[in-house]
């Protein structure tokens, strides 16, 4: 019922916004990705610095039923509407630039095990009618996205993803990041970041209960103090960046870890950072089924894959490629003990070669990416 009423609200506001006069030098970024690697936010920040002649507005969170009418007027007046999730525009002659939020590893749309036929057909129609430019990084990306969303090939344009511009030039130094999050200085520091996918959709209460208790890995053998000591011995520091929903569950947990810090959206919003503006300072990534690993390949640094819910995830939602061991260029761990056993040996030449293989498969475009997106949508796109 809520979904139906929200669609009704969007339809009504779109209708009203159509009567706003459209202006050619106006861009609206509808950001549904927060600060956790948002192509929209990265592009917005770049536009403010490099193209002040354009009137650019950031709308977040998106979608929302709490937007002011003045914001809807700006959406209606925009010549270019930039989206990070589902395509959107209020009138035919607007140009929707779909940046999406990563190379997909998890099944979506018609490919997923946990979606509804009616919703899938609605989404297919939405992409067909509304998306004008779909930013792409590779042939593989286009194949995966079309398998899920039935996007026509003519909509794809290999212009890359704006957030990748942020990886090579961190907004603060590694020393400052260590000071901000761990309140320490360490010239030997290795900083890792753990970013799991949205585990709530596994519909397993026991997982959520573990997270509430502070077991952010949801390992059966989790011992936070022990892990902290093992990291400390090696001058390793672990940033934990959970999905916002999981972070809310976790908020009541108080820790005194010296080498484990929890990064929430408050830190990012307070400093006007996107997570990707900090990733370049890290030395390794830990994830499970998140597509962030495809982007992290650009840094050519070690990746650790956490597999304790692999079978469950494959059954509940599914992955687009497999076997998992063949598509993940890094060490896999299923428990805290396995993780500790690998902390001294996170990388080797064979793994590095596999990272390059997957980088070449998923990225056929060279940066700067923001510039490519802007040039294509304003100068080269012919409709």
H-state helical runs in the chain: 2-17, 39-50, 69-77, 117-130, 139-149, 174-182, 205-212, 224-233, 244-250, 265-270, 276-279, 292-296, 310-316, 324-327, 336-342, 349-362, 369-375
Q: What one-character-per-residue DSSP string does 222-267 give?
A: --HHHHHHHHHHTTEEEEE---HHHHHHHTT-----SSEEE--HHH
Tell me the CATH number for domain 2-160+366-380: 3.40.50.11820
Distance, CA of 87 to CA of 78 (rounded, Å)? 15
Whose tokens are 């799991």? That residue is 196
Distance, CA of 115 to CA of 283 (rounded, Å)? 36
Distance, CA of 76 to CA of 346 (rounded, Å)? 50
CB-CB contact of 206 with 307 (8 Å) = no
- Tell me what pLDDT residue 201 has: 66
Write down the CATH superfamily of domain 167-362: CDP-glycerol glycerophosphotransferase, C-terminal domain (3.40.50.12580)
- Tell me what pLDDT residue 250 has: 65
- Tell me what pLDDT residue 257 has: 94
What are the backbone angles phi and psi of residue 262, rounded to the nearest 5°?
Answer: -105, 120
Beta-carbon contacts of 338 under 8 Å, excluding residues fewer than 6 positions away, are none
CB-CB contact of 250 with 242 (8 Å) = yes
What are the backbone angles phi and psi of residue 305, rounded to the nearest 5°?
Answer: -105, 125
Helix-, strand-, coil-residue percentages of the chain, each rounded to 5:
45, 15, 40
**CA angle (184 as vertex; 183, 189 as ends), nearest 5:** 130
CB-CB contact of 368 with 162 (8 Å) = no
- Tell me what pLDDT residue 253 has: 56
- Among 248, 194, 180, 191, which Cα is nearest to 222's? 194
Instruction: Give the chain's largest Cα–Cα span.
Output: 64
pLDDT along the chain (383 residues), means of 10: 80 91 95 92 98 97 92 96 96 96 93 92 94 98 96 97 96 96 96 87 78 89 96 97 75 78 90 96 95 95 95 89 94 97 96 97 96 97 86
Domain ranges of the chain: 2-160+366-380, 167-362
- Tell me what pLDDT residue 135 has: 98
What are the pLDDT digits (tens) for 8-63?
989 899 989 999 999 999 999 999 988 989 999 999 999 999 999 999 999 999 98
CB-CB contact of 128 with 345 (8 Å) = no
Query: Do the first three CATH levels of 2-160+366-380 and 167-362 match, i.e. the same topology?
Result: yes
């Amino acid at each position: 019922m809520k979904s139906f009423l929200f669609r009704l609200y969007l339809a009504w506001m779109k209708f009203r916004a159509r009567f706003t006069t459209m202006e050619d030098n106006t861009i609206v970024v509808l950001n549904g990705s927060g600060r956790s690697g948002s192509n929209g936010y990265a592009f917005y920040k770049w536009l403010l610095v490099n193209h002040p002649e354009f009137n650019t507005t950031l709308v977040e969170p998106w979608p929302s039923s709490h937007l002011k009418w003045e914001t809807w007027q700006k959406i209606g007046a925009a010549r270019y509407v930039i989206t990070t999730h589902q395509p959107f525009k209020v009138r035919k002659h607007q140009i929707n630039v779909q940046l999406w939020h990563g190379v997909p590893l998890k099944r979506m749309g018609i490919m997923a095990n946990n979606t509804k036929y009616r919703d899938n057909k609605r989404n297919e129609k939405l992409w067909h009618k509304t998306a004008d430019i779909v930013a792409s990084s590779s042939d593989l990306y286009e194949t995966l996205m079309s398998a899920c969303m039935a996007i026509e090939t003519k909509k794809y344009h290999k212009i890359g993803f704006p957030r990748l511009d942020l990886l090579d030039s961190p907004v603060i130094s590694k020393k400052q990041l260590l000071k901000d999050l761990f309140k320490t200085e360490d010239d030997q520091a290795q900083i890792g970041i753990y970013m799991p996918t949205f585990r709530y959709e596994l519909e397993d209460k026991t997982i959520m209960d573990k997270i509430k208790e502070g077991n952010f890995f949801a390992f059966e053998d989790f011992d936070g103090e022990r892990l902290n000591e093992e990291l400390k011995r090696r001058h390793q520091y672990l940033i934990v960046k959970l999905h916002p929903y999981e972070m809310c569950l976790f908020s009541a947990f108080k820790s005194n870890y010296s080498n484990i810090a929890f990064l929430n959206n408050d830190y990012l919003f307070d400093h006007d950072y996107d997570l990707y503006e900090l990733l370049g300072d890290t030395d390794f990534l830990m994830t499970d089924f998140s597509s962030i690993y495809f982007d992290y390949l650009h840094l050519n640094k070690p990746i650790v894959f956490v597999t304790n819910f692999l079978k469950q995830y494959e059954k509940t939602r599914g992955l687009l490629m497999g076997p998992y061991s063949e598509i993940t260029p890094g060490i896999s761990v299923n428990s805290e003990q396995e993780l500790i056993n690998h902390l001294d040996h996170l990388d080797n030449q064979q793994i590095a070669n596999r990272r390059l293989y997957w980088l070449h498969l998923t990225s056929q475009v060279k940066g700067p990416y923001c510039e490519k997106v802007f040039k294509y949508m304003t100068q080269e796109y012919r409709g």
